Amino acid sequence: MEGTNIYAIIETGGKQYRITQGQTVDVDNLNVIDGDTIEFDKVLVIGDEKNATIGAPTIEGAKVTATSKGTVRGDKIIVYKFKSKVRFRKKTGHHQLFTRLAIDKIEAPGIEIKEPVKKARRTKKEENESGS
């Protein structure tokens, strides 16, 4: 598996997330400080557009490294309770807390994963010297 379209499916907080390198994802609230590095060992699948490696239940030695970008609040959910004929009405709201993660690296044993190549921007000096 070589290329830049490598993905992994990890499990955290009882949920599964399909992630790629360089992606930002919101997961259930983790007890981490902003800027900390987190490693996920529960990697279920690693693959690309042509083939995939599926674990039973996880892939031995595979891990995903991510950096915490802090805690964020989700959309507000309105909870409305009502009982007919007894004049009972109760309205409450709730914001779920999420941890925002930036996926840094996907590692798997025996699989080389190339990091995406960033295009370098030309500065104004380079443009003027080359005449373009």
pLDDT tens, position by position, 73-132: 999 999 999 999 999 999 999 999 999 999 999 998 776 666 656 677 777 665 556 665
Mean pLDDT value across the chain: 87
pTM of this structure: 0.74
What b/e sequence results for 13-29 when a residue is b if at least 16 CB atoms lie within 10 Å of its CB, and e otherwise? Answer: eeeebebebeeebbbee
Cα 113-26-110 angle, rounded to 5 deg: 20
Among 77, 55, 76, 47, residue whose Cα is nearest residue 11? 55
* Domain that includes residue 68, residue range: 7-114
In a domain, 1, yes or no: no
Report how far residue 81's alpha carbon sits from residue 78's, in angstroms, rounded to the nearest whole number: 10
Number of independent structural domains in the chain: 1
In a domain, 119, yes or no: no
> Partners of 88 in the beta sheet?
83
In a domain, 121, yes or no: no
